[in-house]
Amino acid sequence: MGSSKRLSRRKQPSLRWILIAAVYFLPAAWGSTHAAANDGDAAAVLVGRVTEVTDGDTIHVALASGPIIVRLHSIDTPERAQPWGRQATAALERRLRKGTEVTLQPITQDEYDRLVAVVYVNDENVNAWMVQQGHAWAYRRYLDDAQYCAWEQQARASGLGVWSLPSTKRIAPWEFRTAEREQTQIVMGSTVETETACVAAMNDRGPVTNTLAQPSTPAGPCRIKGNINDKGDRIYHVPGSESYERTGISTSRGERWFCTEEEARKAGWRAPRGNPDGSSN
């Protein structure tokens, strides 16, 4: 989701298996699900504790399955080298102190293997809070809720946070990163600071697809997982095997469910290495 602040220079180790296990097998891993605070429909979410605040829109969270990096959805805060960058980070650190329990509503996984999510503390949307307090912009490129545009406008009208700065120092973070990456000069006024322009940018881009919140589910009794790894290998996992619970199935990637191991082998899938019958790893 956009450029990373620290990660733009050095990609972090892959967390893909942790994210898949956490989202696709939440009931088994945590034993409970919750509903997002402002969502009328029940949605599977993750529960963990904050271990670190990297910057104004990135945090580290310890889940039952392991540590993950979380990028806050729909918002973008100034870079550390920008005016209000350090203040935005400090504000999130005060709101999400180390050890704070958070509820995560997964949206997707970004190119840096971070979980993009809406973060809640005691039913309060922290992503929205950052925009409402003037510490973050509504991230036009990934926005899927026009309310963020309204919150940004309200903070701007009240002169909160970054909006207390002179207009010459209010540079949209995505513009700042692009100029830094391409070594070009920032053109003032490229991002129009109005609610109308914000909503228009969101609508022009189209809807954001939630790629994690709606995992594929087994078809009846067919519970053997036909997974395709990053190398393109087709491997099936049977219930009870070591890798079964942490293996996700995404039918959009060509992965599928099988009723029997014979069916999986005939379709071109194999058992994990060192285990010909696929009964365990």
The residues annotated as belonging to the active site are: 71, 79, 114
Six-digit token string for 80: 């550390």
Cα 243 from Cα 96, distance rounded (Å): 33
Residue 146's nearest CA partner among 235, 46, 209, 74 is 74
For residue 56, which amino acid is it?
A: G
For residue 247, which amino acid is it?
A: T
Q: What is the dihedral of CA 15, 8, 211, 103, to 10 degrees?
A: 70
**Exposed / middle / buried, residue 253 (Cβ in 10 Å: 0-12, 13-18, 19+):** exposed
Task: Write the secondary structure of 5-58 as one string of H (helix), E (strand) and C (coil).
Answer: CCCCCCCCCCCHHHHHHHHHCHHHHHCCCCCCCCCCCCCCCEEEEEEEEEECCE
Task: Please state, as a whole number, how many other Cβ atoms lie within 10 Å of the Cβ of residue 32.
Answer: 9
Six-digit token string for 164: 């207390």
Cα 41 from Cα 87, distance rounded (Å): 35
Residue 69's nearest CA partner among 25, 128, 22, 37 is 22
Residue 177 in contact with residue 36, Cβ under 8 Å? no
